[in-house]
Structures are given as structure tokens and as C-alpha cells.
Chain A
Amino acid sequence: MKKIFTRLFQRQSKQQACIVLIGDDIHSLSQVCIEKHKHKAMHVYQVLHDAKQNSVKIECQNFELTLVSLNLINQAALKDLMQHIRQQAHQIELCIFQPSFHPHPPKETDLTQQIEQQWQNTGLSAVSVSQIMIKQMLHQQGGTLIFLGGQPTMAAHVDLLSQSMFAGIRALSQSLAREFHPKGIHIAYCMLPDWDSQNKSLMTSVQNLCWHIYQQPESTWSQELSMNI
């Protein structure tokens, strides 16, 4: 019901709904989103994490897509992005966060730096994005925030650190869902077998799943979903 009122309000205030996709390998997913939501006239923001970029850099902007790069743990830059979105009369309906699935830290860095970087690119980025997005969604009295992550696997061969980072984000998602669901913000964690942006079928499935979560009525919100190949 709240979503219907929000949409009615949007029409009156001439705000256009938008989807914000955040991550380090989300070009294919954003293309699928653009194709799927053309008729709904939902603008797509594709926000790429760049640790070296300390301010918002609008790479390109057209009717369907805005391509942005920024450092996700720079909260001033994220606030600037929110301001830019408001100035464009866009309202964030759905935000999807994709943490790095295949971390490739520079080889010249030592182990301590590598682990810290992995934390910053996954768990800490998730926190940083959540804080900014939830504040914005509370302000607009609604919104959906979805974290993508890997499947929890207990096995000898897995990447221990990646598994741990995903577990941390999953726990963050649970904590935020319990805190912010009663306030009208839908937060969900979606477990994927892997991330392969070249796999169009996978990207389409991810998009469909996220859209399904977004459309769920308040009486039946999911907190966690799992996708298997």
C-alpha cells in the first residue's frame, strides 16, 4: 500500500523512479535492467566502486542511464551522489549492492593491506552504502535495498576470506532488516552461486529475482533468498 501511495506522490511531484546498482562489475546487470524497465521509464544509475576516486565522477548520462564512479567508503562522495539524484528529480525505489566476488588485490601489497582492502571493498562498502541509502529511503518513506552475495559453503577448497566477507554482509543484512523493516524499508540478502557478468542468463535471473523482491507486498517480505545453477 505504501508503495502505491509513494508512486502516486511521485506522479504528483513529477519525480521519476530510479534503480541504483552499486558494485565493481555491474555493467551487464545494469544493461539488463535498462532493457527490462524501458517501458516503466525507470532510470538506472550504475555506480562503480573506484577506491582512487574521491569525488563523484559522472562518466555519462542519458535518458536511461547515469554512469557514476566514486569511492564507496567516502561518505561525502555518496552524499553528493544522493544530492545529484535528487536534483535530477529521481527517487530511489530500488538499490542493489554487489560486493566484489573475485577480489584481485595488487600483488605488490602485503597480506595486511590485501585483507584490509578486501574488507573495504566488501563489508565496509556495504555499511557505507547502507547508511546513505537507508537515510534517503527513510526520508522518502520507502525503498528496497538488496545485497547480493555468495552462497555459504563449508568446504576445504573455498576462498576463506571471500566466504567470511559474504557472511559478514549477510549478517549486516539481517540486522538491518530487523531494524528497518518496521520502518518501511525492505532489506534483503540474495545468495548467488557465483558472479559472472558475461553470463547474460545469470544477469537476467538476478534482475528478475531483485525485481520480484522489490514488488513483494509488505505482508510478505523476504529477508533472504538463494539462487542455484
Chain B
Amino acid sequence: MSMPSNSIKLTNPIPCAVVIGVGAQQGIGAAVARRFAQAGLKVYVVGRTLQKVEDVAAEIRSLGGTAIAKSLDAEDPVQIQILFDSINHSDEQIAAVIHNVGGNVPSIFLKTSLQFFTQMWRSTFLSAYWVSQSSLKIFEQQQKGTLIFTGASASMRGKPFFAAFTMGKSALRSYALNLAQRYKSQNIHVAHVVVDGMVDGDRVNKALFGLGRLARLTRGTGGLNIEAIAENYWMLYQQSSDLWTHELDLRPYQERF
């Protein structure tokens, strides 16, 4: 039986996971951070808002895990590079990087400014580009690593009122799948997760003064559970290199077509 590509040698530096794009405690980023910490990895909880990432890191520590909160702007390549340099120079080995940046904001196409499109493209695509640039260099040195990107329904199909979001997410999907082809021979696993539906998390539930929760509950089976989503990220990380998934779609068992 072959060993999982990401199995950790006991004599090696401390294995860690870097989760970028962590916001609310009831969100995909936080759930993924909790799942990797639960398995014993040190987790860097990275997001734009310091208070939010500190809350998530504190929760992980309260459960016996190891977590460090870092606040940065993922669209800034300098800040991303500094983060990875600081981890790389410590006595740690980056086992997995998860990119989970970019929120879904609808807009009326003909009334949307070009600045809004650029802002959405930067958050959904450009931040992923910078994260991959920094993390893949380290993975190449290590000759292993897992890089997972969070996608959405908009990664697969463009719908009205989501032109800006779908442009960035589709670009990210193309990028991730091509990266997967480019780096698989170097024992680097790149995967793209299509979260294809409404997520049972704070972003949806608190949207429009709670109307988001109502929308989620009245569509399909109530949305995707964040802990279940996180379990799939963990599964991807654990996959053996002789059978890697490059794209994984997730949806509730009932859906409207």
C-alpha cells in the first residue's frame, strides 16, 4: 500500500496548514481550519479582519488545537509573500494551503461600475494567484504539498446578476485545473472544490437581515453544511498521490435544476 503523499515524517518540522480567507466562525474557512486542527496540524487562520480570525483561532485552541491568527489583505502579493516567508523560515512545514477568498455579491450588470468588476476579480481570482505563487515555490522545495481552492456554482455557469462573481470564479477554476496538471508530476496536489449551492453559514444566514436564512431553508434541503464541506477538504488532503481528485463538486442531496 502506498503511503499518502502528505504523510508527515515524525522527525520533520511541525506540519501546518494555512487557511486563507477565514471570516465568520460559521463559515467554510473557519470550518476547514477547525477540521485540519482537529487532525493535529498547526493551523494559520488568515483573514482580512483581525477580530474574526482571532475568534476562530481562540476557538481552535479552546478545543485543544494549535492555531495562529494572521490578518492580511490577500490581494496584496507583498503581504502574502511575507506570511509564507515567515512560516517557511520557522521550524514548520506547510502541508496544505487552502484559498477561500471572495464573496458572492450580486449586481445589476448595466448599473455596475468597472471598479466593482475589478474589485471582484481581485478578490476571487488575483488573491488566488498570489497565494499559489507563494505556496507553490515552497511546495516545490518540499517536493510535496496540497493546494485547495474554494469554488462556487458560479465557477461552472454564469447567471444573471452574478456577472462579476462568475468572471472571477470561472477564471479561478481554469487556473486551478491547469495548475493541477502542471504540478502533479512534482507531487503537488492542486484541487478545486465547487461548492454548488447555498451554504449554511453566517454569510448566507445573516444576509439581508436574516432573509438569507429564509431563502436557504426554502430552497432544496437547507444548504450545504460547513462541517461536511470541511470534511471533503480534509479528504482531498489525505488522498494518496496515485489517485488524486482535481475537482470536487458538492451539493445538497436535493436540488432544483
The one of A115, A135, A158 that contacts B126, using a Cβ cutoff of 8 Å: A115
The residues of B that contact A169 with a CB separation of less than 8 Å are 167
The one of A135, A152, A160, A175 that contacts B166, using a Cβ cutoff of 8 Å: A175
The one of B114, B159, B162, B171 that contacts A73, using a Cβ cutoff of 8 Å: B114
The residues of A that contact B118 with a CB separation of less than 8 Å are 119, 124
A167 and B174 in contact, given A119-B118, A124-B117, A156-B181 (Cβ under 8 angstroms): yes
Interface residues in chain B, defined as those with a beta carbon under 8 Å from any beta carbon in chain A: 77, 109-110, 112, 114, 117-118, 121, 125-126, 129, 154, 157-163, 166-175, 177-182, 185
The residues of A that contact B109 with a CB separation of less than 8 Å are 130-131, 134, 175-176, 179
A-B contacts at CB below 8 angstroms, number = 109
For the complex, what is the distance from the CA of A161 to the CA of B169, rounded to whole Å?
13
* A163 proximal to B (CB < 8 A): yes
The residues of A that contact B157 with a CB separation of less than 8 Å are 171, 174
**Interface hub of B77, B121, B157 (most chain A Cβ within 10 A):** B121
For the complex, what is the distance from the CA of A111 to the CA of B81, rounded to whole Å?
14
The residues of B that contact A6 with a CB separation of less than 8 Å are none
Q: How far is the CB of B73 from chain A (nearest CB, A)?
A: 13
Main secondary structure of the interface of A (DSSP, over half): helix
For the complex, what is the distance from the CA of A155 to the CA of B174, rounded to whole Å?
10
Name the CB-closest residue of A to B184: A156
Interface size class of A (residues with CB under 8 A): 35 or more
The residues of A that contact B180 with a CB separation of less than 8 Å are 154
Q: Decide: B114 and A174 in contact? CB cutoff 8 A.
A: no
Main secondary structure of the interface of B (DSSP, over half): helix
* A11 proximal to B (CB < 8 A): no
Q: Decide: B161 and A171 in contact? CB cutoff 8 A.
A: no
Q: Decide: A164 and B179 in contact? CB cutoff 8 A.
A: no
The residues of A that contact B185 with a CB separation of less than 8 Å are 156
Q: Decide: A128 and B121 in contact? CB cutoff 8 A.
A: no
* A199 proximal to B (CB < 8 A): no
* A220 proximal to B (CB < 8 A): no
Q: Decide: B77 and A112 in contact? CB cutoff 8 A.
A: yes
* A184 proximal to B (CB < 8 A): no
For the complex, what is the distance from the CA of A106 to the CA of B66, rounded to whole Å?
45
Name the CB-closest residue of A to B246: A154
Q: Decide: A115 and B129 in contact? CB cutoff 8 A.
A: yes
* A178 proximal to B (CB < 8 A): yes
* A170 proximal to B (CB < 8 A): yes
The one of B117, B129, B158, B179 that contacts A171, using a Cβ cutoff of 8 Å: B158
Q: How far is the CB of B102 from chain A (nearest CB, A)?
A: 13
A175 and B117 in contact, given A112-B77, A169-B167 (Cβ under 8 angstroms): no
Q: Decide: B178 and A178 in contact? CB cutoff 8 A.
A: no
Q: Decide: B181 and A175 in contact? CB cutoff 8 A.
A: no
Q: Decide: A175 and B121 in contact? CB cutoff 8 A.
A: no
Q: Decide: A155 and B168 in contact? CB cutoff 8 A.
A: no
The one of B114, B158, B163, B174 that contacts A164, using a Cβ cutoff of 8 Å: B174
Q: Decide: B163 and A127 in contact? CB cutoff 8 A.
A: yes
Other than the known A160-B175, A168-B167, A169-B167, what 4 A-B pairs have Cβ atoms closer than 8 Å?
A: A127-B114, A161-B129, A168-B170, A179-B161
A124 and B114 in contact, given A154-B181, A166-B174, A171-B167 (Cβ under 8 angstroms): yes
* A165 proximal to B (CB < 8 A): yes
For the complex, what is the distance from the CA of A60 to the CA of B125, rounded to whole Å?
39
Q: Decide: B114 and A168 in contact? CB cutoff 8 A.
A: no
For the complex, what is the distance from the CA of A170 to the CA of B159, rounded to whole Å?
12
Q: How far is the CB of A115 from chain B (nearest CB, A)?
A: 7
